[in-house]
Chain A
Amino acid sequence: MRKPKNPEKFKAANKAFNEGLRRHPVTGEGLPAFGTNVLTNVINEAGAYPTYNFKEGRYADAGKISGETIAQLETERGGNPTHGCHVGCAIRCSGIFVDKDGNYITKQPEYETVWAHGGNCGICDPDVIARLDFLDDNIGLDTIEMGATIGVAMEAGLLAFGDSAGAIRLVEEVGQGTPLGRILGSGCAFTAKAFGIERAPVVKGQAMPAYDPRAVKGMGVTYATTPMGADHTAGYAVTANILKVGGDVDPLSPAGQVELSRNLQVATAALDATGFCLFIAFAILDQADTFQAMVDTLNGMYDWNLTGDDVAALGKKILSMERDFNRRAGFTAAHDRLPRYFQREALPPHNVTFDVADKHLDSVFNWE
Chain B
Amino acid sequence: MPPTIELKLYATLAAFQPAEAERFPLPPEASVASLLAILGIPAEVVKLIFVNGVRVDPAFRLQPGDRVGLFPPVGGG
CB distance from A30 to the nearest CB of B (A): 4
Instruction: Name the B residues within 8 Å of A127 (CB-CB).
Output: none
CB distance from B71 to the nearest CB of A (A): 6
* Contact assessment for B53 and A38 in the assembled complex, using a CB-CB cutoff below 8 Å: no
**Which B residues fall within an 8 A CB radius of A?**
8, 10-12, 14, 47-48, 50, 52-55, 69, 71-77
B71's nearest neighbour on chain A, judged by CB, is: A42
User: Among A1-9, A186-194, A237-245, A294-302, which stretch is in contact with chain B?
Assistant: A237-245
Total interface residues on A, CB under 8 Å, equals 43
The 8 Å CB contact of B55, one of A26, A34, A35, A46, is A46
* Contact assessment for A34 and B8 in the assembled complex, using a CB-CB cutoff below 8 Å: no
Distance between Cα atoms of A112 and B14 in the complex (Å): 23
* Contact assessment for B11 and A30 in the assembled complex, using a CB-CB cutoff below 8 Å: yes
Residue from the set A57, A67, A278 with the largest chain B CB neighbour count within 10 Å = A67
Instruction: Name the B residues within 8 Å of A25 (CB-CB).
Output: 47, 72-73
* Contact assessment for B53 and A47 in the assembled complex, using a CB-CB cutoff below 8 Å: yes
Give the number of A-B contacts (CB < 8 Å).
93
CB distance from A296 to the nearest CB of B (A): 23
A29 interface hit (Cβ, 8 Å): yes
* Contact assessment for B53 and A349 in the assembled complex, using a CB-CB cutoff below 8 Å: yes
* Contact assessment for B53 and A243 in the assembled complex, using a CB-CB cutoff below 8 Å: no
* Contact assessment for B76 and A242 in the assembled complex, using a CB-CB cutoff below 8 Å: no
Interface residues of A in 18-51 (CB under 8 A from B): 24-27, 29-31, 33-39, 41-42, 45-47
Distance between Cα atoms of A18 and B53 in the complex (Å): 34
The 8 Å CB contact of B11, one of A36, A38, A242, A278, is A38
A285's nearest neighbour on chain B, judged by CB, is: B75
CB distance from B39 to the nearest CB of A (A): 17
Instruction: Name the A residues within 8 Å of B11 (CB-CB).
Output: 30, 33-34, 38, 41, 67-68
Given contacts A30-B73, A38-B76, A252-B54, 7 further A-B contacts (CB under 8 A): A45-B69, A112-B77, A233-B77, A239-B75, A245-B75, A282-B75, A349-B53
